[in-house]
Amino acid sequence: KDRVPLVFYWIPWVGSAVTYGTQPYEFFDNCRAKYGDCFSFMLLGRVMTVYLGPKGHEFVFNAKLSDVSAEAAYSNLTTPAFGEGVIYDVPNWKLMEQKKFAKVALTTESFIQYVPLMVDEIMKYFKTSPDFQGKKGEVDVLKSQPEMTLYTASRSLMGKDLRNMLNAKYAGWYSDLDKGFTPLNFAFPYLPLPGYKLRDKAHAHITNTYMELINKRRKESGTHERDLVDALMNNSTYKDGTKMTDQQIANLMVGVLMGGQHTSAATSSWFLLHLGERPDLQEELYKEIKDTIGDKPLQWQDLQKMTLMNNTIRETLRMHHPLHSVFRKVIHDLPVPGTKYVVPAGHFVLASPGWSMTHEEFFPNSQHFEPHRWDKLGGAGGGFKKEDNADEKEETVDYGFGKISKGVSSPYLPFGGGRHRCIGEHFAYTQLGTLLVTFIRNFKWTSKVPEPDYTSMVVLPVGPAYIKWEKREK
């Protein structure tokens, strides 16, 4: 059996790291022109086998647990930031259970409770942030969106007490932890770098606060909020009878929050920038909101009725998938279906839904931001739709954290698929929808969409990325 062709490179070990790292989609296009959809490249001592397009999604997302491992691919990156005993620092069956534990805080009943809290946080931000004072002004979305994402997620998922603790000291810890969550970790997770020391200190401070919060809630009687803290306090016993420790629960909270932080902040940054070039869409969105709720306070049920709003998020995720590559480490020689190739154990496989979603073959006029391209799907409804998976045959599978569609051979796959599928999709749609509606109700804005920066943890606009806003006359 043959090896997948390896892209030529000059510098041993480093390989194609620079071209891949700075312009991954362009790199994939160039390799595809030479080798077709399946090729390998050298990345800092690792051999990565890329399989582009829907067949590649199937190959990577639906690969058998006995053949590939996500933890062996990601643990270097996530364990130093999240801490031990969670996500990719545990065997897969434990991750599946941890996702199930967290999902208790990600239900419709929870979202109904979260929306007014999120609106409240966003309005407070508009009132108090120096970037939103007066009748008009400008704001760097790379500053505002991470902050608004953190506040809305913390208030809803972690409760009022924790939100009230988010002061300057806390912001410093988050920022230190964040700086230690970089692609550099893939290659060097535990170097004695000053930034890494700060990261470990910040992790200790943050998880200690979470543990204090857990202890405080234990002393109070009954459960009060359907948030992540209560979910994990009441529901974190594995099927073998062992319980997660408080430190592990705190680490899981860090992991879940971080999983949503960068992805969601990047997505809202991009839609604000795109809408700044499309005043027509801002007015259409304003009309949709007026027609749906008039001047009433927003509720989660209303978001489900706002088709254009949801399609705006959908289109943003198509053009700007936050994660340009998804990896697994191969642990058993893995034949590539439909080819004569075998990927040997020790190599990595890579899928890139972000490439398919921005490719002309699957999305004509792919570089044009057009939420209306999704109109024919009709309806709205919190993100995932059956139609996203074109050849899905109603077949679902349950890995423990709820039934999910088995079909992953769609070109549109922003939340992945299979056992590692995202559990945060509906939360993300709730948070992003609430944010978008509240922005449109209060402001009009203009901007120019910057180029993407592929070198950061998630694909962000090159900064600073300003929008010029003015208050909407009501």
Answer yes or no whether residue 420 interacts with ligand HEM by CB under 6 A: yes
Answer yes or no whether residue 416 interacts with ligand HEM by CB under 6 A: yes
The angle at the Cα of 424, spanning 78 to 66, to the nearest 5 degrees, equals: 55
> Within 33-72, which residues bind ligand HEM (CB under 6 A)?
70
Answer yes or no whether residue 423 interacts with ligand HEM by CB under 6 A: yes
Answer yes or no whether residue 248 interacts with ligand HEM by CB under 6 A: no
> Residue 222 in 3-state DSSP?
coil
Q: What are the b/e assignments for 4-21, b being 16+ CB within 10 Å?
A: bbbbebeeeeebbbebbe
Based on CB atoms, which residue is closest to ligand HEM, 196 or 348? 348
Answer yes or no whether residue 292 interacts with ligand HEM by CB under 6 A: no
Using CA atoms, how far residue 6 sits from 16, 113, 331, 339, in Å, is 10, 52, 19, 15
Q: At what angle do helices 141-153 and 246-276 cross, to 10 degrees?
A: 140
Nearest distance from residue 382's CB to ligand HEM, in Å?
Answer: 12
> Residue 398 in 3-state DSSP?
strand
Based on CB atoms, which residue is closest to ligand HEM, 65 or 323? 323
**How many of the other CB atoms lie within 10 Å of CB of 429?**
25
Answer yes or no whether residue 415 interacts with ligand HEM by CB under 6 A: yes
The Cα 379–Cα 308 span in angstroms is: 9
Q: Is 74:173 a contact under the CB 8 Å cutoff?
A: no
Answer yes or no whether residue 110 interacts with ligand HEM by CB under 6 A: no
Find the residue with minimal CB distance to ligand HEM: 424
Nearest distance from residue 37's CB to ligand HEM, in Å?
Answer: 19
> Within 68-87, which residues bind ligand HEM (CB under 6 A)?
70
Only segment of 22-30, 137-145, 386-394, 415-423 that touches ligand HEM (CB under 6 A): 415-423
Q: Is 446:456 a contact under the CB 8 Å cutoff?
A: no
At a CB cut-off of 8 Å and minimum separation 6, what does 85 contact? 244, 245, 247, 248, 251
Only segment of 78-86, 238-246, 255-263, 370-378 that touches ligand HEM (CB under 6 A): 255-263
Based on CB atoms, which residue is closest to ligand HEM, 70 or 232? 70
Which of 40, 75, 207, 263 touches ligand HEM by CB under 6 A? Answer: 263
Based on CB atoms, which residue is closest to ligand HEM, 420 or 444? 420
Q: How far is CA 346 from the centre of its chain?
A: 27
Using CA atoms, how far residue 426 sits from 114, 373, 381, 396, 458, in Å, is 12, 21, 9, 18, 19
Based on CB atoms, which residue is closest to ligand HEM, 80 or 137? 80
Based on CB atoms, which residue is closest to ligand HEM, 154 or 267? 267
State the maximum Cα–Cα separation within the chain, in Å, rounded to a whole number: 68
Give the x-and-dash track for 298-327 against ligand HEM (CB under 6 A): -------------------x----xx--x-
Nearest distance from residue 340's CB to ligand HEM, in Å?
Answer: 27
> Residue 428 in 3-state DSSP?
helix
Give the footprint of ligand HEM on this chain (CB under 6 A).
Answer: 70, 95, 99, 256, 259-260, 263-264, 267, 317, 322-323, 326, 414-416, 420, 422-424, 427-428
